Amino acid sequence: MKSLLQKARTEFENFFHYQPQCFVRAPGRVNLIGEHTDYNDGFVFPCAIDYCTVIASSKRQDNQVRVLTVNFNENDEFSLDKPLEHSKEHGWSNYVRGVFIHIKELYPHIAGLDLVICSNVPLGAGLSSSAALEVSIATTLKKQFNLTIEPKQLAKQCQKAENKFVGCNCGIMDQFISTLGKKDHALLIDCRSLETQSVPLPKGISVVIVNSNVKHGLVSSEYNARREQCEEAAHILHVNKLRDATMDLLEKNKSKMSDVVYKRARHVITENDRTLKAADALRLNDLATMSKLMKQSHHSMKNDFEITVPAVDTLVEIIENVLNEQGGVRMTGGGFGGCVVALAPTEQVDNIRQAVEKEYESRSGLKESFYVCHAVGGAEVINAS
């Protein structure tokens, strides 16, 4: 983090030729369990990770916003005196612009800033680099203009920015955990009530994330199909969302739906149950139960929701063979590629790394990316003095 902070400071001084006033960080995240449950009003269980976005900023005397992103070595400039339009040149800038729009609708007095963005959240790995950017921008605005916005409201405005301005129909999980994360804890989120519970992670446990580096294919079309299938199941079951369904209700109505719709509903209903049980297991330091739940979750995503791919299944198998019941591993994210997440005793991390390095490429033809993480707190202003 210190190197990221120093880089943001140096790049700010080099680009704007004066010193920044304020530094903010916001973390990426990984979801430990609870997949495709969010849009079914269910439960998710992410933790914030120690890969983050840092922003250096200073207030201006006008309504111009000048912003440099170090990762892309690109800059953008826009005025708050007129309606903001999409940037056709810089996709990343639309996340920045969207947050300014949706914070400004609550706090019209916000004005111009000079900003430098530095991030080490891996792009395209499903670790929520977009939410880390949105929340870091919003937290910068909160600090620089003394906004009284509550953390959950800040997260909701960031979600609106992504939904309405960027045009990605994400749920609230990513922005919530980037805002509300707590050191050494995961966060159980009720996606209907938006109530949250921080749950401590067992001591001596590392969060291991391995990117399969399978390029996502058919994600948007398959994602939309899964949503439609869940909605069809809910309609047949006469419930508002699958959150309200039980396995008994599903079994009684199995003959009324196709086998595919039945399997999709079975995944969501059982995944919600697993997510609640996982939070209970971690409260009790019961890693053996957590291991079983993560294994069941992966099998459900593979067989019922059909969103895994062979390379991801291979990674899970390799890591399972190292961990046995000492920790859990499953696919994480929307599916069709991306990452697996493991909760593993820290002393097993090197064994996992060695096994993956030895077997994954020879079995899949792909080279993994390996990240060892720890649960960190949510967005904050950094004292960089």
pLDDT tens across 129-141, in order?
899 999 999 999 9
* 260 & 121 share domain: no
* 152 & 121 share domain: yes
* 147 & 292 share domain: no
Cβ burial 136-150 (10 Å sphere, 16+ → b, else e): bbbbbbbbbbebebe
- State residue 168's pLDDT score: 81
CA distances from 319 to 72, 148, 214, 225, 248 (A): 33, 45, 17, 30, 34
* CATH code, domain with 301: 3.30.70.890
| Residue whose entry in the numeric block shows the structure tokens 């902070």 | 5
Residue pair 201/189 in contact (Cβ under 8 Å)? The answer is: no
- State residue 217's pLDDT score: 60
- Orientation of helix 173-180 relative to helix 151-160, angle to 10°: 150
* CATH code, domain with 106: 3.30.230.10
Top-confidence range, 1-5, 111-115, 212-216: 111-115
pLDDT at 218 over 60: no
- State residue 317's pLDDT score: 98
Q: Identify the three-state secondary structure at position 190.
A: strand
| More reliable by pLDDT, 320 or 220 | 320
| pLDDT (average), residues 218-236 | 87
- State residue 334's pLDDT score: 84
Average pLDDT of the chain? 95
Q: Known catalytic residues?
A: 174
- State residue 91's pLDDT score: 87
* 112 & 34 share domain: yes
- State residue 210's pLDDT score: 97
- State residue 303's pLDDT score: 98
pLDDT tens across 310-337, in order?
999 999 999 999 998 899 999 998 888 8
| More reliable by pLDDT, 223 or 367 | 367
Domain that holds residue 329: 205-373
* 191 & 215 share domain: no
Strand 380-382 versus strand 185-190 pairing type: unpaired
pLDDT tens across 47-95, in order?
999 999 999 999 999 999 999 999 999 999 999 999 999 998 898 999 9
Alpha helix (H) residue ranges in 325-373: 349-364
| pLDDT (average), residues 257-267 | 98
* 56 & 79 share domain: yes
AA identity, residue 24 = V
pLDDT at 219 over 70: no
The span from the CA of 211 to the CA of 368, in Å, is: 6
pLDDT tens across 141-198, in order?
999 999 999 999 999 999 999 989 988 877 889 999 999 999 999 999 999 999 999 9
- State residue 220's pLDDT score: 66
* 53 & 118 share domain: yes
* 87 & 154 share domain: yes
- Cα Dmax for the chain: 69
* 86 & 145 share domain: yes
| pLDDT (average), residues 4-18 | 97
Q: How many CB atoms are located within 10 Å of the residue 286 CB?
A: 16
- State residue 183's pLDDT score: 97
> Residue 383's pLDDT band (boundaries 50, 70, 90)?
confident
Number of folded domains that form the chain: 2
Strand 113-119 versus strand 64-69 pairing type: parallel
* 194 & 249 share domain: no
* 212 & 235 share domain: yes
- State residue 13's pLDDT score: 97
pLDDT tens across 266-298, in order?
999 999 999 999 999 999 999 999 999 999 999
The span from the CA of 202 to the CA of 279, in Å, is: 12
* 194 & 339 share domain: no
pLDDT at 31 over 80: yes
Model confidence, pTM: 0.93
- State residue 126's pLDDT score: 75
The span from the CA of 27 to the CA of 23, in Å, is: 14
Residue pair 112/60 in contact (Cβ under 8 Å)? The answer is: yes
